[in-house]
Amino acid sequence: MTAVRWWGPTGVSTAAMATSMTVLYATSALAPFLVADLGLSRAAVGGLVTVSFAVAAAVSLLAGHLIDLWGARRGLVALCGAVVAALLGASVAPSYGWLLVAVAVAGVGQALANPATNVLVAQAVPAERRGMAIGVKQAGVQAAAFACGLVLPAVAALAGWRVALRVSTVVPLAVVVAVWWWAPASGQRAAVGRWWRLSAPSGWLAWLVAFSLLLGTGLAAVNTYLPLYATQRLGLDTGAAGLLLATFGVTGLLARLWWGRWADRTSDVVVALAWLAAAAVAGVVLVFAADHRWSGLVWAGAVVVGGSATAANAVSMLIVLRRGKALGRASGLVSLGFFSGFVVGPAAVGWCADVGGWGMAWLVVAAVFAGTAMLAVRVRSASARELVAA
C-alpha cells in the first residue's frame, strides 16, 4: 500500500476524532459568549461537559457492537450526523435546557469515534503503520481543541456565537465527503446478533476497561484543575495559566505521535502502559511540589503528565487494535471506561480540593495514577495468559 493510500484513511480518522469533540470544545471556547447571552454560571458551563461525557459513556456500551455490525463507513457518517445535529441544535437553543440536549446528542458522536476509527485503521492501514496511524488519529482530539480555541471566538466576536456554531458544521460535512472517498464501502461483519446485545468482556479487556476508567479520572482532573491551581496557589496570572494548559495539550499531542511511532517498532506495546502510568504519578508529584518547593515545577509536571497519561489512551487503543477480535465492541468498552473517568474525575477531585485543599486533591490524583499503573500490570499478565491459552 502506498504512503498516500494509508495516509488517506489515517487523515480521515484524525478528522473524525477531531469532529467528535467539536461540540465540546466549541462550547468551551464560546463559554464567555454563552455566559453573557444566556446568563450561565460556571457550574452550568461545567454541566455541559458532564452531560456530554455521561452520554458518551452510556452510548459506548452499545456503540462498539453497532460498529462491528455496520462497518466503519456507516459509523463515521452517523458520527458526523450526530455532530451536525448537535451544532445546529445548540445554535438555535433558546435556553440552557435545550443547550444541554444538544450537547447530549454530541455525546453519541463521541461514543462512535474510537470504535469507528479503529475499525477503519484496521481495514485500511497496513500492520506495520498502525501504531503511527493510531497516534496521529488520537492527536486529532488535541487538534480540535486548538482549532476551536483559535477560530471560534474570533467568529463569535464578529457575528455571534450562534453563527460560530453553524460555521463549525463545515467540518463534519467535509469529513462525510472524505469518508465516502477513503473508507472501504464494506468489510467483514465482526459481530452477529441484535444491535443491543451486551456481553461481559474477557479478562484482559476487563482489566483494560478498569485501567481506562482510572486513567480518564486522573487525566480529567488535571485537565480541569491545573489552570485554577496555578492561579489560586502558585500566583500565575490567567494568561500564564492558559499557557500552562496549552503546554499540557501540545505535549500530549506530540507524545501520542511519538508513542505511536515507537509502537510500530515493537511487538509488546502493553508494557508501555505501566511506564506511562508511573510517569504520570511522577508528573503529579511535581505539580504538588510546586506549591511547597518552587512554583516552576508545575511546568515540568504539566509536560510529564501530558507526555504520559495522554499518550496512554492512544497506546490502549493500539492494544485493542492488535488483538483484532470484535474490534468495535472492544474499542467501545475501553471508551466507556475512559469517558466514565471524565464524568467522575472533575467532581471527585474538586470535592477533595474543597474539603482538604489542593495538596489533598493532587495526592488523590497521584494515587489514582498509581492504581492505573497497577492495573496496567494486570492487563499485561491477563493478556499474556490468554495469548498462551489461544
Q: Look-up: residue for cell 464578529?
A: 158
Indicate whether 8 belongs to any domain: yes
If one counts every other C-beta atom within 10 angstroms of the C-beta of residue 25, the result is: 21
Indicate whether 65 belongs to any domain: yes
pLDDT of residue 320: 83
Average pLDDT over residues 119-123: 88
Per the CB < 8 A criterion, the answer to whether 73 and 179 are in contact is: yes
pLDDT of residue 369: 96
Q: Look-up: residue for cell 446478533?
A: 193
- Go through 42-80 and write b for each residue having 16 or more CB atoms within 10 A of its CB, e for each that does not: eebbbbbbbbbbbbbbbbbbbbbbbbbbbbbbbbbbbbb
Q: Is the pLDDT of residue 390 over 60?
A: no
End-of-domain residue from the set 185, 208, 230: 185
Give me the domain span that covers residue 176: 1-185
Contacts 24+ apart (CB under 8 A), 367-370: 368/214, 368/217, 368/218, 368/221, 369/214, 369/215, 369/218, 369/277, 369/280, 369/281, 369/284, 369/309, 370/277, 370/281
Ordered alpha helix ranges (H), the chain: 3-20, 22-29, 31-38, 42-70, 72-91, 96-124, 130-138, 140-159, 161-168, 170-182, 203-232, 238-263, 271-289, 297-323, 327-389
| Max avg pLDDT among 1-5, 32-36, 87-91, 327-331 | 87-91
CATH number at residue 388: 1.20.1250.20
Indicate whether 174 belongs to any domain: yes
On whether both 376 and 250 belong to a single domain, the answer is yes
Q: Is the pLDDT of residue 69 over 50?
A: yes
On whether both 142 and 217 belong to a single domain, the answer is no
Indicate whether 368 belongs to any domain: yes
On whether both 156 and 31 belong to a single domain, the answer is yes
Q: Look-up: residue for cell 460555521?
A: 167
Summarised one tens digit per residue, pLDDT across range 218-240 is 988 888 788 878 888 888 876 77
If one counts every other C-beta atom within 10 angstroms of the C-beta of residue 2, the result is: 7
Task: Lowest mean pLDDT of 42-46, 67-71, 86-90, 104-108, name the range.
Answer: 42-46
> What type of residue sits at position 160?
G
On whether both 207 and 102 belong to a single domain, the answer is no
If one counts every other C-beta atom within 10 angstroms of the C-beta of residue 176, the result is: 17
On whether both 241 and 122 belong to a single domain, the answer is no
End-of-domain residue from the set 133, 160, 185: 185
On whether both 250 and 162 belong to a single domain, the answer is no
On whether both 172 and 252 belong to a single domain, the answer is no
Summarised one tens digit per residue, pLDDT across range 260-298 is 788 777 777 788 899 999 999 999 999 999 988 888 899
On whether both 132 and 229 belong to a single domain, the answer is no
pLDDT of residue 196: 42
End-of-domain residue from the set 156, 185, 214: 185
- CA nearest neighbour of 24 among 220, 314, 308, 178: 220
Indicate whether 157 belongs to any domain: yes
- Does the reported pTM lie above 0.85? no
Task: Kindly report the average pLDDT of the chain as a whole number.
Answer: 84
Q: What whole-number distance in Å separates Cα of residue 380 and Cα of residue 374?
A: 10
Summarised one tens digit per residue, pLDDT across range 309-339 is 988 988 888 888 877 666 778 888 888 888 8
Average pLDDT over residues 180-195: 60
Q: What whole-number distance in Å separates Cα of residue 178 and Cα of residue 384?
A: 38
Task: Lowest mean pLDDT of 45-59, 107-121, 152-166, 355-369, name the range.
Answer: 45-59
Total domains, the chain: 2
